Amino acid sequence: MKTAEHPAVEDLDLITVLAALADPVRLDLVRQLSDHRELGWGDLVAPVAKSTLSHHMRVLRDAGVTRTRQEGTRCFVKLRADDLTARFPGLLDLVQDYTPAPPLG
């Protein structure tokens, strides 16, 4: 089974991280992981198909927001909170506190 690759802390790019967090589904996934526990993909709640969830998880991993670990056929994910805080202090606090603006009109 192929091992997932993760960018090094020094390679984390703010624009890439912000782009990954800009999607509401991915933002919610990050919030679900914000208690710093490792969760199985099956434990994540998202209003999307499994294939779409896989896409969202890949975007978060490739941006350096999460770390994925495979164990047999199961995938586990954890927020890279320490790495993100070291590289972008305060970013995760902003993500946690963000409330979407109400729709116009």
C-alpha distance from residue 102 to each of 47, 72, 97 (Å): 20, 43, 15
82 in the Ramachandran plot: left (φ > 0), alpha (ψ -120 to 50) or beta? Answer: alpha
Handedness of CA 104, 93, 55, 25 (dihedral sign): negative
CB neighbours (10 Å) of residue 100?
7
| Tens digit of pLDDT at every position of the chain (105 positions) | 467 789 999 999 999 999 999 999 999 999 999 988 999 988 998 999 888 999 999 999 999 999 999 998 899 999 999 999 999 999 999 988 877 777 776
pTM given for the model: 0.88
The CATH T-level fold of domain 9-95 is Arc Repressor Mutant, subunit A (1.10.10)
SS3 68: strand
Rounded to whole angstroms, how far apart are CA atoms 105 and 102? 9
